[in-house]
Chains A and B, each alone.
Chain A
Amino acid sequence: MSDSADERSMLPYIIGATVLFFLGVFGTTYLPFFDDQMQAPNENAEIRNYSLDSAEYRGREVYIREGCHTCHTMYVRPVLADSSLGPISQPSDYYYEAPAMLGSKRTGADLMWVGNRWNEDWHREHLLNPQKMLPGSIMPRYDYLSDEDLENLVAYLMSLKPSPQSEGRPVD
């Protein structure tokens, strides 16, 4: 074969595969850090920048431990399907979010601004027995959480509110 001489050395493959890979790494994982929109936090981000000893921070750890992010997104798009979920997500909303939990699957509702939707009592009752508050819901019960974990988790969920500006207020 005329061009098979090229296929007798491993080097073209090793070098080619590596170079092409790092081009993509550079473009899609490194450059975004330097985009203007990613550079500064906004007020929503400040609300979510929990101090390490706060109930909200510990509640977020419970949220992660129980895998809430596997069913709930925190990601509101400028599309019809997200029209009643509240303000559209901005890159700067997530400035301090580590790990970022925008999510990939909405088996349950989006939680980006869930703190606006219900109050503490509702959340507590709902976590203990989702079917009581929303008959037909397929969310599991979290009645095995310790009281402390439960209260922290409720505090975290209640903190997920937009700052007044991003909510579109003041209302005239």
Chain B
Amino acid sequence: MSDEHHKDKDSIDPSEKLKEQKESGEPIQSTDHGPGGIRMGNAKIPPFLMITYVVLALWAFGYAFTAVPLNQVSEASADGEAIFQQSCLGCHNVTNEPSVGPGLEGVSERYDNEELQEILVNGIGEMPSLPALGLNTEQIKAVKEYILEL
């Protein structure tokens, strides 16, 4: 039978088994007659694993009672320069050189604060309104402060 034949290959050299027993000093429970020729050892759970189990259990309780949702929205203070680069730089240079739209160097001399706010919120000519670009109130304020410095 093929099974018999294969089992010979699988089965364990008895001398090896004895050696193993001597080395580990642990009683080997099952014999060659274990399932599929596999013997099962009986080692204890290593201490570091016991510690791991306990630590994890303690952590789980701590986490269950103390975890709160992450909220970094307020931390993301609106960075006018970054928003400008993302949303405006495609059409406006920071120099006075015109691109699709006019260059913005010295824009504070051409418009006062309120006029600029009006343009940013509602758009002008081809330029879309900033809310339409997905920017919120705080971000628009940051962009305005940034370009007023140019």
Contacts and interface: CB of A to CB of B under 8 A. Distances in A.
A80 B131 contact: no
Q: Interface centre among B42, B128, B136, B138, by most A CB within 10 Å?
A: B136
Interface residues of B, number: 25
Interface in B86-105: 86
B121 A79 contact: no
B29 A1 contact: yes
A119 interface: yes
A88 B73 contact: yes
Contact of A84 (B29, B86, B140): B86
Contact of B136 (A78, A79, A80, A167): A167
B21 interface: no
B72 A1 contact: no
Given A79-B70, A79-B72, A167 B131 contact: yes
Interface in A121-172: 162, 167-169, 171-172
Given A78-B70, A117-B134, A171-B121, A83 B76 contact: yes
Interface string B60-91: 00000000011111011000001100100000
Contact of A167 (B42, B121, B134): B134
Given A84-B86, A113-B134, A171-B121, A119 B72 contact: no
A78 B140 contact: no
Nearest to A114: B134
Contacts of A87: 136
A41 interface: no
A78 B69 contact: yes
B108 interface: no
Interface string A44-85: 000000000000000000000000000000000111100111
A1 B42 contact: yes
B137 A169 contact: yes
A86 B76 contact: no
Given A78-B73, A80-B76, A171-B121, A86 B134 contact: yes
A116 interface: yes
Contacts of B134: 84-86, 113, 116-117, 162, 167
Interface of B: 29-30, 40, 42, 69-73, 75-76, 82-83, 86, 121, 128, 131-134, 136-140
Closest 4 A/B residue pairs (Cβ): A168-B136, A83-B76, A116-B134, A86-B134
19 contacts: A1-B30, A1-B40, A77-B70, A78-B69, A78-B70, A80-B76, A83-B72, A84-B86, A84-B134, A88-B73, A116-B132, A117-B133, A119-B128, A167-B136, A168-B137, A169-B131, A169-B136, A171-B121, A171-B140
Given A1-B40, A83-B73, A168-B136, 18 more contacts: A1-B29, A1-B30, A78-B72, A78-B73, A79-B70, A80-B72, A83-B72, A83-B76, A84-B134, A85-B134, A87-B136, A167-B131, A168-B137, A168-B138, A169-B136, A169-B137, A171-B137, A172-B137
